[in-house]
Amino acid sequence: MPFYNESANPAALPDNKSSPSETSDWHDLTAQQLVRYEALFTLLDDIQGQEDISAIAQQVTKQWKYFANVANWRLLLADENGFLIIDGFRGQATLNRAAETELSLWDQYHWKQYRPTLISVANIDRDLPPPEHLVSKVNYEIQVLPLMRSEKCMGILYVGSRDEPFSEFDNKFIRLLGNYFADRVASLLLQKRALEVLHNKATRDALTEILNRGTIMEQIDTLLSLAKRNTYPLSIIMADIDFFKVINDSYGHQSGDKVLRQVAQRLQATARESDCVGRYGGEEFLIILNHCNTEQVAIAAERFRRAVAETPFSTAGFTPINIPVTISAGTASTDGQMGFNALGLIKQADHALYESKAKGRNRVTAGS
Amino acid sequence: MGHSPALARAYWEKAKGTLFSGRIPLPLKEMIVFVVSSQNGAKYCTACHAQSVLKLDKTLSFEDLQSFLKNDPKFQLPAIYKTVVKFAAAIARDANSVSDADFEELMDEGFSTEEICEIIAVIDMATMFNIYTSSLRLHLDPNYRAIL
């Protein structure tokens, strides 16, 4: 008796008129699937109980072979950031990200085709080589399954069979798990993305996209207490756009907004990775520099000032206008010894900033 | 084993840790025990685990297992069992004979190193019970059908 009863007619479901042979066919079919269902259900439970995509992929790669003749596989999933590629082979899963242009020829081809295909490992097109792990010594054929959701292709699943062609049962179980697995991963990606968006909305300034006032104030408290605990220096810079009212009045508020955005972006681009750049108020910015003493902050503030002053700002449009913009800055530092709180530092930097303004703007003054 | 609770416990713990826990599905483990037991000529264990295999995997019949033991070329084990069974039989024959290539083949089929270790532990456990039941010439329970 063959293990996978290929000849059995799946349409032969029992009904009142069915002959005894049809009924036993159905019993046979059900019985043959019991072992597979057992393994599949265990895996579905595991997937449901996990939120980590990598852990889910590990479980899939360990269990799949027990209910379908699958030795190795690749899941290609599209999202707004490009593609997530999950490879399963030798009992392990690996996750990678790629833009569409970075996909292999094979992936690009199937992504554009989105047509289910069965490829025999013996007759591989040399110009279109499959991922290496899908053509190991044991692979017999590769099944390519586009995953369609409301007429859109969300991804491609490739599965490699071991030793022999996929049977009708294999195909059924591959589709069952493949769809479930892909949907679960896609929904986790979406959930992650939604959380990111929410988090950004809550912590970033809507116009300039740098940290908002609430967040930068939280940051300064946190970083300052860390600096105090570990006695290392920390500095801040208060920066303010010079004559911003004049810019608004002469070029219009829309241009004023553009200047604000571009100043914020230049400050962010000039900052080190460990610095925090936030919008403190109207045209006022607060930058926190970790592990940065009085001398270093003077150099950094000068770098920020130049980043703004050296290149005029352009209002992109039909006839772009170049607007010269400068900032004035004031700095304040602590060596990490006790005696300084966030408000004290800000007050000191603010005084220095006013001094810069009073001395003629477009300059940096160290607070004391 | 009835004479020594300590011994009974030792055997039971080994069975519990290998057969009834871990990642590999029970039908595959029962098949390993069946194959190793037949390789070791253990009548009791072979009959008992043939029964377990048939109970867990309804696609196989008693006659299938008989054909398998007779090396009948007309009978092919399902893909799920094939390579693991070959590996188990080779280890039961001579554990020193398995090579890196045997491991590679299992890994190409998708087995992780943890799973391969689990397979080896099941082979080992089967052999442990084989030696016990064979040396004591354990009689078959009336509800088991002799297969060796």
Q: What is the pLDDT along chain A (368 residues), one digit of tens a residue?
A: 333 333 344 443 344 444 445 556 666 666 667 778 888 888 999 999 999 999 999 999 998 988 889 999 999 999 888 999 999 999 999 999 999 999 999 999 999 998 999 999 999 998 999 999 999 988 999 999 999 988 889 999 999 999 899 988 889 899 999 999 999 999 999 999 999 999 999 999 999 999 999 999 999 999 999 999 999 999 999 999 999 999 999 888 988 999 999 999 999 999 999 999 999 999 999 999 999 999 999 999 999 999 999 988 887 666 777 889 999 999 999 988 866 789 999 999 999 999 999 999 999 999 98
- With contact defined as beta carbons under 8 Å apart, do A153 and A113 qualify? no
| Co-location of A239 and A180 in the same domain | no
Q: How far is B26 from chain A (nearest CA, A)?
A: 9
Q: What local confidence, expressed as pLDDT, does residue A25 receive?
A: 67
Q: What local confidence, expressed as pLDDT, does residue A277 receive?
A: 97
Q: How far is CA B70 from the centre of its chain?
A: 17
- DSSP letter for B145, please: P
Query: Is A283 among the catalytic positions?
Result: yes
Q: What local confidence, expressed as pLDDT, does residue B21 receive?
A: 86
Look at the pTM and tell me if it is higher than 0.80.
no
Q: What local confidence, expressed as pLDDT, does residue A309 receive?
A: 94
Sheet holding A327-334, edge to edge: A276-281, A284-290, A234-241, A327-334, A364-366
Q: What are the chain B neighbours of A42 within 8 Å (beta carbons)?
A: 25
Q: How far is A134 from chain B (nearest CA, A)?
A: 10
| Co-location of A235 and A146 in the same domain | no
Rounded Cα distance, A125 and A162, in Å: 20
Phi, psi of A338 (to 5 degrees): -65, 165
**Domain end residue (candidates: A131, A166, A197):** A197
| Co-location of A136 and A40 in the same domain | yes
Q: Which of A196, A283, A310, A355 is catalytic?
A: A283
Contact yes or no for A91 and B111 at CB 8 A = yes
State both tokens at B47.
């009959």
Contact yes or no for A35 and B25 at CB 8 A = yes
Domain residue spans in chain B? 5-135
Phi, psi of A212 (to 5 degrees): -85, 175
Residue B56: count other Cβ atoms within 10 Å of its Cβ: 18
pLDDT exceeds 70 at position B1: no
C-alpha distances (whole Å) from A291 to each of A79, A209, A287, A288, A335 are: 38, 25, 13, 10, 9
- DSSP letter for B110, please: T
Confidence of residue B75 (pLDDT cuts 50, 70, 90): confident
CB-nearest to B25 from A38, A72, A88 is A38
Q: How far is B85 from chain A (nearest CA, A)?
A: 14
| Co-location of A333 and A247 in the same domain | yes
Q: What local confidence, expressed as pLDDT, does residue B101 receive?
A: 93
Q: What local confidence, expressed as pLDDT, does residue B100 receive?
A: 93
- DSSP letter for A119, please: E
Rounded Cα distance, B59 and B84, in Å: 18
Contact yes or no for B59 and A89 at CB 8 A = no
A168, A85, A177: which is closest to A134 by C-alpha?
A: A85
Q: What are the chain B neighbours of A4 within 8 Å (beta carbons)?
A: 59, 78
Q: How many helices (H) and strands (E) does chain A have?
A: 9, 13
Q: What local confidence, expressed as pLDDT, does residue A161 receive?
A: 94
Contact yes or no for A35 and B57 at CB 8 A = yes
| Co-location of A45 and A191 in the same domain | yes
Contact yes or no for B61 and A1 at CB 8 A = yes
- What is the per-residue pLDDT across B25-69, written as a single tens digit (0 to 9) for each? 898 999 999 999 999 999 999 999 999 999 888 888 999 999 999
Rounded Cα distance, B104 and A91, in Å: 12
Q: What are the chain A neighbours of B105 within 8 Å (beta carbons)?
A: 137-138
CATH number of the domain that A241 lies in?
3.30.70.270
Q: What local confidence, expressed as pLDDT, does residue A242 receive?
A: 96
* Domain that residue A311 falls in: 213-366
Contact yes or no for A66 and B80 at CB 8 A = yes
Identify the contact set of chain A against chain B, taking CB-CB distances under 8 A. 1, 3-4, 31-32, 34-35, 38-39, 42, 61-66, 69-72, 88-92, 136-139, 162-164
Residue A42 located in a structural domain? yes
Contact yes or no for A90 and B25 at CB 8 A = no
| Co-location of A56 and A175 in the same domain | yes
State whether CATH 1.20.1290.10 applies to domain B5-135.
yes
Count of structural domains within chain A = 2
Contact yes or no for A34 and B58 at CB 8 A = yes
Residue A204: count other Cβ atoms within 10 Å of its Cβ: 16
Q: What local confidence, expressed as pLDDT, does residue A13 receive?
A: 39
Interface test with B, best of A4, A35, A136, A168 (most B CBs within 10 A): A35
Q: With pLDDT > 70 as the criterion, what percentage of chain B qualifies?
A: 99
Q: What local confidence, expressed as pLDDT, does residue A194 receive?
A: 93
Residue A66 located in a structural domain? yes
Q: What local confidence, expressed as pLDDT, does residue A29 receive?
A: 64
- DSSP letter for A102, please: G
CATH number of the domain that A89 lies in?
3.30.450.40
Rounded Cα distance, A35 and A37, in Å: 6
**Domain end residue (candidates: A158, A173, A197):** A197
Residue A215: count other Cβ atoms within 10 Å of its Cβ: 17
Rounded Cα distance, A183 and B41, in Å: 49
CB-nearest to B108 from A34, A39, A71 is A71
pLDDT exceeds 90 at position B23: no
pLDDT average, residue stretch B108-127: 94
| Co-location of A148 and A54 in the same domain | yes
**Domain end residue (candidates: A167, A197, A227):** A197
Q: How far is B141 from chain A (nearest CA, A)?
A: 26
Rounded Cα distance, A180 and A200, in Å: 30
Strands A139-149 and A152-162: antiparallel
| Co-location of A161 and A220 in the same domain | no
Q: How far is B106 from chain A (nearest CA, A)?
A: 8
Rounded Cα distance, B89 and A86, in Å: 34
pLDDT exceeds 50 at position B17: yes
Residue A270 located in a structural domain? yes
DSSP result, A161-221: EESSPPPHHHHHHHHHHHHHHHHHHHHHHHHHHHHHHHHHHHHB-TTT-SB-HHHHHHHHH
Higher pLDDT, B5 or A241: A241
